[in-house]
Amino acid sequence: MKALKFILYTSVFFLVGELIVRIDLEYDLLNNSPHKIEVKIEESELRNKIEKGNFIPNPNQTRILVIGDSYINGGGISIEKRFSKRLSNLLEEEVLILDISRPSNSTLDNYNSFMFYQEKFKPQFVFWAYNFNDILYSIPEVNSSKKPKILPPKRVYKKKIGVKKYVSQLYSFSELIRYTSSNIQKQLKFQGIVMPVGEFYQLTQKTYLEKNKNWIDTKKKLNTVSQICKTNQSKFILYRMPEFNLLNHSNLFHSLDEKFVNYVNSNKNITYYNGINDFENENSDKFILSKYDGHPNELGHFRIAKKIAKYIMVEKTRTYNNIHKK
């Protein structure tokens, strides 16, 4: 009888919990939902010209290509306060910024976007906002065809394999399990604690091992981008985006930062910035878009824009001086 009551009470608990979570997902009664970010590249006259082959570079322009995911795209922030718009306003000279960042982009998405647009836009500066989680999913083989692509690349489907596949299936079956698991892990991360399960543990402990195929592939892609930039005499800026809700726990990424620094130190064609240094000793609450994830708010975008604008102005001055010395 006791066993039957236990099973009955447990079943009722899970059914009620499942119902509450699903209702909350629909109506956000508990105010738990993060900002919804649209998965597309912002429409722009410049991008349309480039895609139609009507763009002609002007030698008097400063052309900047921006690639990345939702962290730099700025979903949830007014357009005028996003990174690209801030950067444009900070640079006093004539400047064209082609922002092809897109929410949910992976390393492969950013690489494909670069390969398509750089030939047509011919940027002097390439700014890649990099997230450590860009390589969590398996990376398909890149099409080796030499034929030029007519249409811009679509976002690559992120195929989940192994444990991630089964966890995803479990979450799709029960919203209560997904909600409970993600919130427990989130609260522990806020305290600087990482459980030996889940995506974040996989990211910080295993993804960037030297033998990991995704890390090996990522380095190859970054090397290709840097070599193309060198050939085109453009500057490749690789900016490591922080997890803004974990600014006070940057130690969680210490081993990843070391591995990334070791890589960029071997490639002198990359100008690398660890974004965490731009927010050192700062409180997360000042820069987060939402307490539920690591996206930066408008203040975070503005600070990054100021850093990159300063670098670009210095480089433009150096180039100008070198030309006139000759």
Q: Torsion-angle region of residue 43: left (phi > 0), alpha (psi -120 to 50) or beta?
A: beta
Is 248 inside a domain boundary? Answer: yes
pLDDT value for 42: 57
Three-state helix/strand/coil letters over the chain: CHHHHHHHHHHHHHHHHHHHHHHHHHHCCCCCCCCCCCCCCCCCHHHHHHHHCCCCCCCCCEEEEEECCHHHHCCCCCHHHCHHHHHHHHCCCCEEEEECCCCCCCHHHHHHHHHHHHHHHCCCEEEEEECHHHHCCCCCCCCCCCCCCCCCCCCCCCCCCHHHHHHHHHHHHCHHHHHHHHHHHHHHHHCCCCCCCHHHHHHHHHHCCCCCHHHHHHHHHHHHHHHHHHHCCCEEEEEECCCHHHHHHHHHHHHHHHHHHHHHHCCCCEEEEEHHHHHCCCCHHHCECCCCCCCECHHHHHHHHHHHHHHHHHHHHHHHHHHHHC
Domain CATH number, residue 269: 3.40.50.1110
Is 316 inside a domain boundary? Answer: yes
Burial class of 265 by CB neighbour count within 10 A (0 to 12, 13 to 18, 19+): exposed
316 within 8 A of 94, measured Cβ to Cβ: no
Is 12 inside a domain boundary? Answer: no
Is 191 inside a domain boundary? Answer: yes
pLDDT value for 167: 47
Is 27 inside a domain boundary? Answer: no
pLDDT value for 248: 87
Total domains, the chain:
1
What gap in Å lies between CA 245 and CA 181, rounded to an integer? 18
pLDDT value for 170: 45
Is 9 inside a domain boundary? Answer: no
pLDDT value for 318: 85
pLDDT value for 293: 80
Q: Which residues pair with 99 in a beta bridge?
A: 66
pLDDT value for 266: 94
Residue with tokens 């591995």, as numbered in its chain: 259
Residue ranges of the chain with pLDDT lower than 70? Answer: 1-43, 137-151, 157-198, 292, 320, 322-326
Q: Which residues pair with 63 in a beta bridge?
A: 96
Residue-wise pLDDT tens digits, 101-131: 999 899 999 999 999 999 999 999 999 999 9
What gap in Å lies between CA 91 and CA 46, rounded to an integer? 18
Is 165 inside a domain boundary? Answer: no
Q: Phi and psi at residue 99, in whole multiples of 5°? A: -100, 110
Whole-prediction pTM value?
A: 0.80
What gap in Å lies between CA 310 and CA 187, rounded to an integer? 37
**Domain containing 130: what range?**
32-137+174-325
